[in-house]
Structure 1
Amino acid sequence: MTVGIVRDNISIVLQRPRYPENIGSAARAMCNMGFTRLIVVEPGIWDNARIRRLATHTAGSIVDRIQRFSSLEAALAPFGHVVGTTARLGEQRPVIKSPDFLARGLIPIAHNNPVAILFGPEDRGLTNEDLKHCHQLVNIPTVDFSSLNLAQAVMIICYCLATADQADPKPLTPRLAKRVELDQMYGELTAALMEIGYVNPQNPDYWMVRIRRFFTRLSLRAGEASIVRGICRQIQRYGVRRYTEGLRDGQCDGKPIDEG
C-alpha cells in the first residue's frame, strides 16, 4: 500500500514576511499543491488588497483563513513537529539537504501530528532564536546563489510534500508533545538545572542548546514531556526543603551559622 502526506495536518508558517506580495504568492503556491493552512507571524506590512492581488482568486479562500500571530511562540504552540527552512549551513545548523527526503520522513509524523513548516524573513531568514523552536531543519540546494524568493521556497517544499509517498510505510508516529508543552518543559528544566548548578544562570541559553538537541532527537510524546516536568518540580521542591531544613538546623549553604 502506498501512502502520502496528510495535507490537513501541514501548516505553512511565515515568520516576519516583509512584503504582502510574498504572502499572496506563497498562498498561491500552497493552493497549487493542495495545502490550505497558512500562518503569518509579525508581518512587516499587512495589506489585504496587495496580498489578494498576488494570490489571485484561486487562493482567495486560503487568504480568508490566514491566521495572524504577534509572536512565533504563540504561532507554533499547537504543533507537535516544526521544520525550519534555512539557506545557511554550519555546525550550529545541522540540516537535511534534501526536501524530498524530509517529505518522506514527515509522512508517518503528519498522520497523527500537526506539522509546521517555518520560513523566515526574505532578507535574513530564520535567526538562531527562531530555530530553537524547530525539531528539524531543511535546506533547498542551489547553485552559486543560495537565496530563494519566499514564494519559490514555499512552492518547492509544498511540491515535495505533495508528491512524497511511501510504498512500505513506517509505523505511524503517535501524538508528540506540542510546542507549548515542550516550551513549558524546557522552562522548568532550565530552572531546575540552574538550581543544582548544572547550568550557568548568567547564560542559560548557551548551556541549554545541546540539551534541547538531545530531547529533540528523542521526539518526546506528551506524556514523556510531562514526566520530565514532574522530575524538575521534584528537584526544585527537594532543594527548597533541604534549604529550609538547613536554616532550621542552624546551617546556611552547608556551613554552621556563626553565632558570635
Structure 2
Amino acid sequence: MTVGVTRENIAIVLQRPRYPENIGSAARAMCNMGFHRLIVVDPGIWDEERIRRLATHAAGAVVDGIERFDVLSDALAPFGHVVGTTARLGGQRPVLKSPEVLAEKLIDLSRNNPVAIVFGSEDRGLTNEDLKYCHQLVNIPTTGFTSLNLSQAVMVICYCLATATRSDPPAFTPRLAKRIELDRMYEELTEALVRIEYVQPDNPDYWMSRLRRFFARLPLRAGEVGIIRGICRQILWYGNRRYEEGSVDGKTMEDGRPLR
C-alpha cells in the first residue's frame, strides 16, 4: 500500500505577509497541489479583491476559507507539529536542508496530528521570536541567491508534500500535544525555574531557549505535557507554602533564606 501526506491535516501559515498579491499567489499554489487550509497572520495590507485577482477563480475556495489572526501564537494554538521555513542556516538553527526530507517525515506525523508550515514576511522571514513556536525548520536549497518569492516558496514545499509517498505500512503516530498546551507548559516551567533561581528573572527567554530546543526534539504527548505542568505547579505550591510557613512578618524562611 502506498501512503502519502494527509493533506487535510496540513495548513499553510503566512506570518506578516506584506502584499495581498502574495497571499493570492500562495492560495493558487496551494490549490495546484491539493492543499486548502490557509492561515494569514497580521497581514501588512488586507485587500480581498487584490488577493482574489492573483488567486484566480480556481483557488476561490482557498481564499473563502482563509483564517485570519493577529498574533502567531493564537494561529498555531491547535497544531501538534509546527514547521518553520528559513533561508538562514547555522548558529542555533537546526535546519532540515531538504523539503523532500521534511515531506517524508510528515507522512506518518500528519496522519494523526494537525501540522502547520509557517512562512515569514517577504522582507525579513521568520524572526527568532517566531521560531520559538516551531518544532523544526526547513530550508529550500538555492544556488547563489537565497531569496524566494513567498508564493514560490509555498509552491516548492507544497509540491514536495504532495508528491511524497512510501510503500511500506504507515508507522504508528500518537496524538501530540498542541501548540497551546506546549505554550502553557513553557509559561509554568519558566515561572517555576525562575522561582528556584535556575534561570535569571531579568531575561528568562534567553535561558529557556535551550530547553525549548530540547523539548522540540521530543514528540511530547498531551498527557506528558500535563505531567510536566503538574510538577511545575507542585514546585510553585510547595515554594509558596514554605514561604508562608517560614516567614516572620513576611521576611524570611526558617533557615533565614528568602524563597523569592
Aligned to 1:139: 139
- CA distance in structure 1 between the partners assigned to 2:201 and 2:219 by the alignment: 27
User: 1:82 aligns to what SS in structure 2?
Assistant: strand
TM-score, length-scaled by structure 2: 0.96
Aligned residue identity for 1:210:
R
- CA distance in structure 1 between the partners assigned to 2:125 and 2:73 by the alignment: 17
1:182 CA displacement: 0.2
Shift in alpha-carbon separation, 1:98–1:243, aligned structure 2, 3 A: same
User: 1:116 aligns to what SS in structure 2?
Assistant: strand
Moved >6 Å (runs of 4+): none
Aligned to 1:70: 70
1:172 CA displacement: 2.6
Aligned to 2:15: 15
Aligned residue identity for 2:19:
Y
Aligned residue identity for 2:244:
T
1:252 CA displacement: 1.1
1:55 CA displacement: 0.3
Aligned to 1:42: 42
Q: Contact (CA 8 Å) 2:3, 2:170: kept in 1 or not?
A: no
1:114 CA displacement: 0.3
Q: Contact (CA 8 Å) 2:26, 2:151: kept in 1 or not?
A: yes
The answer for unaligned runs of 5 or more in structure 2 is: none
Shift in alpha-carbon separation, 1:13–1:256, aligned structure 2, 3 A: closer
User: 2:96 aligns to what SS in structure 1?
Assistant: coil
Output aligned runs, 1:219-258, within 5 Å: 219-247=219-247, 252-256=252-256
Shift in alpha-carbon separation, 1:24–1:256, aligned structure 2, 3 A: closer
Within the alignment, does 1:108 sit opposite 2:93 as a pair? no
Q: Contact (CA 8 Å) 1:250, 1:256: kept in 2 or not?
A: no
Within the alignment, does 1:189 sit opposite 2:210 as a pair? no
Q: Contact (CA 8 Å) 1:3, 1:166: kept in 2 or not?
A: yes
- CA distance in structure 2 between the partners assigned to 1:206 and 1:41 by the alignment: 25
Shift in alpha-carbon separation, 1:170–1:49, aligned structure 2, 3 A: same
Q: Contact (CA 8 Å) 1:26, 1:154: kept in 2 or not?
A: yes
User: 1:148 aligns to what SS in structure 2?
Assistant: coil
The answer for unaligned runs of 5 or more in structure 1 is: none
Output aligned runs, 1:146-165, within 5 Å: 146-165=146-165
- CA distance in structure 1 between the partners assigned to 2:170 and 2:142 by the alignment: 30
TM-score, length-scaled by structure 1: 0.96
1:175-228, Cα deviation, whole Å (9 max, x unpaired): 100000000000000000001010100100000011011111112100100100
1:33-88, Cα deviation, whole Å (9 max, x unpaired): 00000000000000001000000000001000100000101000000000000001
Q: Contact (CA 8 Å) 2:84, 2:117: kept in 1 or not?
A: yes
1:103-151, Cα deviation, whole Å (9 max, x unpaired): 0101111000000000000001000000000001000000000010000
Q: Tell me the percent identity.
A: 73
- CA distance in structure 2 between the partners assigned to 1:52 and 1:128 by the alignment: 31
Q: Contact (CA 8 Å) 2:83, 2:136: kept in 1 or not?
A: yes
Aligned residue identity for 1:185:
M
1:255 CA displacement: 4.5
1:250 CA displacement: 9.4
